[in-house]
Structure 1
């Protein structure tokens, strides 16, 4: 049975997350992993002039890129997060809009040198629907790069996740988890080339690593 996304419930879920995730004193920062200062940096995007972050959350990564001269735009499902991030980083020229990623990409007519997601929309969106839309928004040679936790062995495809425990209203979303090989296959099926996926080990033995995936639009 396919995952049944409820956008209204998911919006409320991410609004609740925004209240705890956004800090008024946060600074621009770019890190693909969940461990500060660990792993590669924005060089995985190449040398883009324009980028789109899907599921941009707090907007810290976009703010960092703006400081290097990159024209950055972000989209996020949570109106609370969008309002906070736009107010915080708008002075840097960062454009952040509210939208459901599939609808946003289907309507967006702009092209980008890179599209990326850091524990963002790629993790929570059906890749069979998402990847073809991303490819259409990339210039030839443009890059899609995303990171998220690796799949738990044996648990692949959409994984259900309730909001904040197991009591109260049944608000939930789905996370999409696959092996690195499967991610590359999904990308190639959507028309991408030069696909590469790996799990970067955590800085401490036995801790959760980070899946990092890259692909190029023809």
Structure 2
């Protein structure tokens, strides 16, 4: 199985929202890690002065942080998502919107951040053995790396392949990485992260899908 999704941009061009260019901007009044609008908010990142979002899409979490005084770089691979976000949020003080692939950006930028985070974004869809060392290299001493996405199916771990546009039309091969909290912890330890907190936040309805939430820190130098 390939370790990198083959047609990421085409897939993400149609992601949230996908109804056209006249969609109004979403609310940026809250920072939401979960699909159920529950659990922690921006405070889960601590009090960073600088932050990088990997796979920002609508950029509403990045805008929320920028309005709180954080200098935020919001990154996305999709041209459609970036153009839409710039239409909505261009000129927001403290917000810098970047069109780039996560690993390439982390490998080429000279900037360091107090926080790097992903809300159902690139940390789910990028090989952690490629992404994590790059994230670690761009974090300031004591900086936080946090990400969230759907809880995994128990016992079905590793890279999951899916057809990004269903079963009709050209093949859009998309991979996402599914691991248990314990496996994410081991991966982060392997790449020199410390103080790791990984777990499943249950949905308000226990029969619904919960949210896997992971937070780790760059050791203080």
Q: Same fold (TM over 0.5)?
A: yes
Structure 2's unaligned 5+ residue stretches are none
Q: Is residue 48–residue 113 contact of structure 1 (8 Å, CA) maintained in 2?
A: yes
The within-5 A match list for 1:57-136 is 57-93=57-93, 94-136=95-137
- Supply the distance in 1 between the matched residues of 2:198 and 2:129 (Cα, whole angstroms): 17
- Supply the distance in 1 between the matched residues of 2:84 and 2:25 (Cα, whole angstroms): 12
Shift of 1:4: 4.3
The within-5 A match list for 1:170-181 is 170-181=171-182
- Supply the distance in 2 between the matched residues of 1:91 and 1:148 (Cα, whole angstroms): 29
Counterpart of 2:46? Answer: 46
Shift of 1:161: 1.6
- Supply the distance in 2 between the matched residues of 1:180 and 1:11 (Cα, whole angstroms): 28
Structure 1's unaligned 5+ residue stretches are none
The within-5 A match list for 1:1-218 is 1-6=1-6, 9-17=7-15, 20=18, 23-28=23-28, 29-36=30-37, 38-93=38-93, 94-218=95-219
Q: Is residue 144–residue 214 contact of structure 1 (8 Å, CA) maintained in 2?
A: yes
Q: What secondary structure is seen at the aligned counterpart in 2 of 1:91?
A: coil
Shift of 1:25: 3.5
Q: Is residue 13–residue 81 contact of structure 2 (8 Å, CA) maintained in 1?
A: yes
- Supply the distance in 1 between the matched residues of 2:215 and 2:198 (Cα, whole angstroms): 6
Shift of 1:13: 1.1
Given the two structures, how large is their TM-score scaled by the length of structure 1? 0.94
Higher helix proportion: 1
Shift of 1:164: 2.6
Shift of 1:138: 0.5
